[in-house]
Amino acid sequence: ASTLGAAAAQTGRYFGTAIAAGKLGDSAYTTIANREFNMVTAENEMKIDATEPNQGQFNFTNADRIYDWATQNGKQVRGHTLAWHSQQPGWMQSLSGSALRQAMINHINGVMAHYEGKIPYWDVVNEAYDDSSGGRRDSNLQRTGNDWIEVAFRTARAADPAAKLCYNDYNTDNWTWAKTQGVYNMVKDFKARGVPIDCVGFQSHFNSNSPYPSNYRQTLQNFAALGVDVAITELDIQGGSATTYANVVNDCLAVPRCIGITVWGVRDSDSWLGANTSPLLFDSNGNKKAAYTSVLNALNAA
Ligand code: G3I
């Protein structure tokens, strides 16, 4: 196959990208995005501050622009994200206790109702674990009680029973890291107790502080063995190593429950990291990089 999406589809997987609503008028951007990818994540537009800027008043203008562009072009959409300590609107940042807990529940219900039956995967909870301890990250949500994550998942299941419900985080790629173990133990516990969770997203933002680990495949496999799908949800590699990109793809392909890969942007100039770090598959002029060819070849070799 000659595109990333079609090549991934040969093994029943998808290849996605993050899309920014503000760039949908850039034809160089949309031409590449439309041609290469068959899964879309809204880079910011489905987050809490975007979809519920005032409490109880939902706004899906930009989220729907992305959803409509994706589906009109034959792509699926990953929902990102319903419960997160970051990118909360001001009103939510100032809540605590039962009022915040209820606001979280109302938010999940409001957003999932809007997209009921239309979004196959939701990042229900994003980045809830601490970067080093293996325990929970301190946040206003965490301070509502340790059960906030399972409440979020139970709420999401009831709101849209057709959606696959994912936990999504970064620095959970290296099997030996405490954060990886913390998330693994949560998923294991949820599966044992029947808390509804269907998938785990590995953001996989690789850089010199959190490099691609040689045990990445083992991490994906160990999570999958708990009975969840795994997905690489926000891939970027600082420096853009073609070899590392191929390793990531081959690791996903080696794990039957690794359902797809999403890169966090189209061109280097679209990356949250800045173009100078060369983290993506297309250069700032929209040309295919060596990493692109390496990914396409790996997908086609499967
Ligand atoms: O839209 C405003 C603009 O009006 C304003 O002038 C400008 C000035 O700072 O800010 C713009 O908003 C920025 C927004 O991106 C859109 O460009 C925010 O400041 C900025 O914080 C925001 O950054 C996003 C970041 O999440 C916020 O947490 C990045 O685009 C986005 O790529 C990044 O994505 C996250 C995932 O959701 C979760 N995992 C990590 C990943 C990378 O940080």
Residue 241 pLDDT class (50, 70, 90 cuts): very high
In sequence order, the 6+-apart residues with CB closer than 8 A to the CB of 167 are: 123, 124, 125, 128, 149, 183, 186, 187, 197, 199, 200, 201
Q: For residue range 28-49, what is the model confidence (pLDDT) as tens digits?
A: 999 999 999 999 999 999 999 9
Mean pLDDT over each residue of the chain, to the nearest integer: 98
Q: For residue range 178-210, what is the model confidence (pLDDT) as tens digits?
A: 999 999 999 999 999 999 999 999 999 999 999
Residue 49 Cβ < 6 Å to ligand 1: no
Strand 199-202 to strand 229-237: parallel, antiparallel, or no bridges (unpaired)? Answer: parallel
Q: For residue range 121-152, what is the model confidence (pLDDT) as tens digits?
A: 999 999 999 999 999 999 999 999 999 999 99
Pocket test for ligand 1, best of 41, 44, 62, 85 (most atoms within 8 A of CB): 44
Task: Please tell me the residue having the least CA distance from ligand 1 atom 26.
Answer: 44
Residue 86 Cβ < 6 Å to ligand 1: yes
Tell me the C-alpha distance between 107 and 113, whole Å. Answer: 10
Residue 45 Cβ < 6 Å to ligand 1: no
Residue 91 Cβ < 6 Å to ligand 1: no
Q: For residue range 47-92, what is the model confidence (pLDDT) as tens digits?
A: 999 999 999 999 999 999 999 999 999 999 999 999 999 999 999 9
- How many angstroms does the Cα of residue 42 sit away from the middle of ligand 1? 11
| pLDDT, position 237 | 98
Give yes or no: 234 in active site: yes
| Single-letter amino acid, residue 275 | A
Check if the beta carbon of residue 162 is closer than 8 Å to that of residue 117.
yes
| pLDDT, position 98 | 98
ipTM of the complex, rounded to two decimals: 0.94
Task: Please tell me the residue having the least CA distance from ligand 1 atom 27.
Answer: 87
